[in-house]
Amino acid sequence: MVEELVPVDEKHPPVLSIPKDEDTAESIPNDHTQGIRKRLPARVVLYCIMATLCVVSFIAAFDNMVVSSNTPLVAAEFNAFNLYGWVNTAFLLTASACQPIYGKCVDAFGRRLCFLCAIFSYLIGSVLCGASQTMLMFVIARGFCGIGIGAFDSLMKIVVADHIPVRYIGYYQSVLGISWGLGYIVGALVGGVAVDRTSWRTVFWMATGLCVIALVMVYTFIEAPRQKVDFIQQVKQIDFLGIVLWATTVVCLVLGLSWGGTTYPWNSPVVITLLCVSIGILTVFAVWEKRFAPYPMIPQRIFQNRSSVLILVAAFLYGGCFQSLMTYVPMYLSVILRGDAMTTNLELLCLVLFACIANVVTGIVIVKSGKYVWAIRTALSVLVVACGLMQLLGRDSSVGLIVSVMIVAGIGSGGMINSEIIAAQGSVVIEHVPVIVTFMTFCDQVGGITGITVAGSILSNTLGAKVASIPGVSESALRQSSSYMWQQITDIDIQNRVVDAYMDAIRSSFWGSFAFVATGLVVSLGLKTYVMRKHVA
């Protein structure tokens, strides 16, 4: 039976009670329990599942924090600041290419197998990161990490949606938000101490240990496939041609955006060819999915709902803003302010802590009110203000100003996390939840790639234009290593001019972030609120 989606009357929203514990526990289907799960009460099984997801969320946040804060140190050690932006780009490239694949595979092969594959891929990537001998090897290793950890977010949302009605997801996503915040805190404090006293490699060895714990918990508590289906039949449900077309589209698009304005001019044959090929293959993919694919990766009905489309666009724009900030704010703290790993982590921690608080508060208020569009618009508005405040940052900014800007950015970022998940799930029927969740995460990640690319191009072009007017300064050497600016330029006046040029370039990149989130705010004005389901099936 097809479920109808009914917009909420904004003036008279439905007043719903919060579920009792036994109601939530009973929402877990009995056929999900296998092995040790059969011997536990349903409520305990739910708690064990949430504990497992909290560990996975912790790992994702830990990784994000240590990579964001330590990438400048890695680039400095290898004298390869020209590849700085590629660390995040490689991660997001593989993560975004694999997102829709995971969304389809979770139904064919089950949540457990997909989770185990994702965690194992991230474990291999972390080992390669810790063993990297060149910046190129580190970038490739982050690509491996993206194959795994890039799926964590969508897989966690799918598992939560399996057991918790969308009406009450805010509570449980808030729990995951707390573990996410703890991951950032541990990454900032423990990771900072480890890096300052040993090496940046230490944090990746720490991540491998966390992966082992996660593998055991996922195998124990996340369900195997719900129905025993022949393996050949499972394989037939995978749209392999669609996967190839999709992955090729994403790779060509990301390479074209990443190389444009940096490695090659925007009007170069290489960039134009890549972008045109991506558009052409995307067109072929759309025709294949709509007319010929027996098991399409992306159901067409998702795009027939205006709110579904708008929340995907908003997720894309939010991802562009957030990821560009998480890439170039650490560069400001490390390169311009010359902060060590611990100092940089503590300043970033202000953003993360308030993002965690905003995430929890937003989830609770959404559950109480039954409405979520207000949260999206408020979060994006606050983030617009934060990006504007970034223009106040400079080489002599006080700690108070930096912390204040980080707090505002954190509130805006955290408020969007819960609300976009609920908006996406609430805009489709239950059977399409896994697909909309993974596709929303994909849009978030591709938006991140685009945001990093746009901000990086702005930074590169601004820096090149300003350095060109300074005599005796090598632009190529400046791009390779920040130590050139502080150690090899001995003339104080010229050094100050170079630092100011670098600061202006970073500040200009923040305008790119501003453009993304401001556009997202405009898009959010078209969203509708739908009735939030009280049942999982």
Encode pLDDT of 108-120 as tens digits. 778 888 899 999 9
Placement of tokens 């130590």 in the chain: 483
Q: Is the pLDDT of residue 397 over 90?
A: no
- The answer to whether residue 282 sits within a structural domain is yes
Backbone dihedral region for residue 13 (phi beyond 0: left; psi -120 to 50: alpha; all else: beta): beta
Structure tokens at 128: 């390669």
Same domain, 400 and 451: yes
Torsion sign (Cα): 427, 432, 437, 439? negative
Angular region, 222: left φ>0, alpha ψ -120 to 50, beta rest: beta
Question: Are residues 326 and 261 both part of a single domain?
Answer: no
Q: Give CA–CA dist 134/389, Å, rounded.
A: 36
Q: In whole angstroms, give the CA distance from residue 410 to residue 404.
A: 10
pLDDT in the model for residue 199:
81
Residue with structure tokens 């830990």? 62
Asked if residue 477 has pLDDT above 90, the reply is no
* Same domain, yes or no: 185 and 278: no
pLDDT at 137: 92
Bridge partner list, 260:
264
> Does one domain contain both 343 and 285?
no
Inside any domain, residue 14: no
Kindly report the number of other CB atoms within 10 A of residue 381's CB atom.
16
In a domain, 284, yes or no: yes
What's the mean pLDDT when you consider all of the chain? 80
Note whether 389 and 444 are same-domain residues.
yes
408-419 confidence digits (pLDDT tens): 999 999 889 888
Q: Note the pLDDT tens digit of each residue in 184-201.
A: 888 877 777 777 777 888
pLDDT tens per residue across span 218-238: 998 887 655 555 667 777 777
| Range 76-97 average pLDDT | 79
In whole angstroms, give the CA distance from residue 157 to residue 180. Answer: 13
CA atoms within 13 A on the CB side of 319: 24
| Co-location of 232 and 243 in the same domain | no
- The predicted pLDDT at position 487 comes to 66
Residue 64 belongs to some domain of the structure: yes
Of 410 and 429, more confident: 410
Same domain, 263 and 179: no
N-terminal to C-terminal alpha carbon distance within the chain? 11
pLDDT tens, 351-381?
Answer: 888 988 898 888 888 888 878 888 999 999 9
d(CA 414, CA 392): 22
DSSP for 97-165 reads: HHHHHHHHHHHHH-HHHHHHHHHHHHHHHHHHHHT--SHHHHHHHHHHHHHHHTTHHHHHHHHHHHHS-
SS (H, E, C) 461-501: HHHHHHHCCCCCCCHHHHHHCCHHHHHHCCCHHHHHHHHHH
Output the pLDDT for position 35: 53
Instruction: Identify the residue whose tokens are 């982050």.
Output: 142
Clarify whether residues 147 and 124 are in a common domain: yes
Would you say 336 and 344 are in contact if contact means Cβ atoms under 8 Å apart?
Answer: no
Residue 366 lies in a domain: yes
**Cα(537)–Cα(514) distance, integer angstroms:** 40
Same domain? For 144 and 280 the reply is: no
Domain that holds residue 284: 239-294
- Indicate whether 11 belongs to any domain: no
Cβ pair 293, 237 in contact under 8 A? no
121 vs 457 pLDDT, higher one: 121
Number of domains in the chain: 2
Cα–Cα nearest to 452, from 512, 402, 399, 493 = 512
